[in-house]
Amino acid sequence: MTSDAVQVGGVAVGRIRATILGLGGTGVNLLDLLHGRLPPTCVPVAVDTDLERLQTSACLKKVFLQTSLRWGGAGHDPLHARRAAEQAKSSLLEAVSGSDLIVILGGLGGGTASGAAPVISQFLSSQLSSSILGMFTLPLPQENPIIQDQAAYALAEMKPKLDLLITFPNGYCAPHDGSLDRCNSMLSESLLGLVDLICSPCDVNLDLADLGHCLARGSDGFLLTQSSPAGLEVAVRALLNHPLWLRFNQARARSLMMCILGGDGVTIAQAGTSLEMFANQLPADCLIYWGFDGRPDPKGLRLVCLATAGPANARALDRHRAFCDFRPLLVSNTPTAHVLV
């Protein structure tokens, strides 16, 4: 339990604490984009074999994965990063200490994230009961076959160790020009949306237990935050037509967490209609939780969508078995906090 926990009826409760471990070049780039924008309860930690990159990162917490190569780095070889991550286990454990939610973030295909992420997932999942999410970019199709193989190998190895594996193929994130800047801005906004959804209190709140129930239902994840100054309906349509949502296998969807943030002026009935547009695309037994915050927010209106697809994940299932047999959901235009009927 977290250090700012209070006793309620003899039970320690506290604010949710999250840690994001940003691995390798992609992970550290994304954390730097989020610099100064994360709530105090969410701690970014830069983790790299590349000492120069670590030194320039804005993150206050850093873990150096020291390889045996003369100038550091992993030289695109995951084996070097694996060994270095094995050596850094105690620093990594210390870095995530007290976290209820851990996100492991990176770009697969190179040496550092592809080698270190499987070791870190395995180690943390064996040591901790925290929810552990993996968020990884996949290489562009034009990158070489060795890079594709390294990414595929790391994915297969990690999947059973994580509560949810969310992949962002770089080619889908910026399908027209393949711009990594556009991918990174989409990814960092999505991650920020997830952190807001879990760590910040909303009018209709979603919490870690809701997340746990959702995670118990599926092992493949979808995450996207869509913002729109043009209003909720435009945001909903943009999300429903996003290449990542179209790629997500909706027929296999097992759970959906959706939250409207910064919904200043949005009525609860409008929120319900938006939810219904998603629910209509999902199987009847898909578990749906929704959240809503109607307070004005300088970040504007955002729609955060986290979905899982089957099969159920063994790790999350073990911890949330009681919640895996929810009855089908009925969505109405006047939703209540958890619209389970």
Ligand X SMILES: Nc1nc2c(ncn2[C@@H]2O[C@H](COP(=O)(O)OP(=O)(O)OP(=O)(O)O)[C@@H](O)[C@H]2O)c(=O)[nH]1
Residues of this chain that bind ligand X (CB under 6 A)? 24-26, 29, 49, 73-74, 76, 106-107, 109-113, 137, 139-140, 143, 147, 170, 180, 183-184
Each residue 107-146 as x (binds Mg ion by CB under 5 A) or -, in order, gives -----x----------------------------------
285 burial (CB, 10 Å; 0-12 / 13-18 / 19+) is: middle
In the complex, minimum distance from the CB of residue 221 to ligand X, in angstroms, rounded to a whole number: 17
In the complex, minimum distance from the CB of residue 141 to ligand X, in angstroms, rounded to a whole number: 10
In the complex, minimum distance from the CB of residue 69 to ligand X, in angstroms, rounded to a whole number: 10
Closer CB to ligand X, residue 105 or residue 256? 105
45 burial (CB, 10 Å; 0-12 / 13-18 / 19+) is: buried
C-alpha pair distances (Å), 58 with each of 17, 111, 157, 318 = 20, 22, 30, 37
Q: Which does 221 bind (CB under 5 to 8 A by kind): ligand X, Mg ion, none?
A: none
Element containing residue 259 per DSSP (H, E): strand 253-261
Tell whether residue 24 is a contact of Mg ion (CB under 5 A). Answer: yes
Element containing residue 305 per DSSP (H, E): strand 302-309
Closer CB to ligand X, residue 180 or residue 324? 180
Contact between 290 and 271 under an 8 Å Cβ cutoff? The reply is yes
Contact between 299 and 261 under an 8 Å Cβ cutoff? The reply is yes
| Identity at 267, one-letter amino acid code | T
Q: Which residue has the tokens 């993150």?
A: 59
Each residue 27-66 as x (binds Mg ion by CB under 5 A) or -, in order, gives -----------------------x----------------
Closer CB to ligand X, residue 110 or residue 218? 110
Cα distance between residue 137 and residue 105, in whole Å: 8
Chain position whose Cβ is nearest to Mg ion: 25
Closer CB to ligand X, residue 187 or residue 316? 187
Cα distance between residue 23 and residue 107, in whole Å: 8
Q: Which does 220 bind (CB under 5 to 8 A by kind): Mg ion, ligand X, none?
A: none
Q: Which does 291 bind (CB under 5 to 8 A by kind): ligand X, Mg ion, none?
A: none
DSSP conformation class of 321: G
Q: Which does 22 bind (CB under 5 to 8 A by kind): Mg ion, ligand X, none?
A: none
In the complex, minimum distance from the CB of residue 192 to ligand X, in angstroms, rounded to a whole number: 15
Q: Which does 170 bind (CB under 5 to 8 A by kind): Mg ion, ligand X, none?
A: ligand X
In the complex, minimum distance from the CB of residue 154 to ligand X, in angstroms, rounded to a whole number: 10
Cα distance between residue 225 and residue 161, in whole Å: 25
- Residue 5: helix, strand or coil by DSSP? coil
For Mg ion, the binding residue among 16, 18, 22, 25 (CB under 5 A) is 25
- In the sheet with 220-227, reading across from the earlier edge strand, the strands are 61-64, 42-48, 18-23, 101-107, 131-138, 164-169, 220-227, 302-309, 253-261, 287-292
In the complex, minimum distance from the CB of residue 50 to Mg ion, in angstroms, rounded to a whole number: 5
In the complex, minimum distance from the CB of residue 93 to Mg ion, in angstroms, rounded to a whole number: 23
Contacting positions for Mg ion (CB under 5 A): 24-25, 50, 112
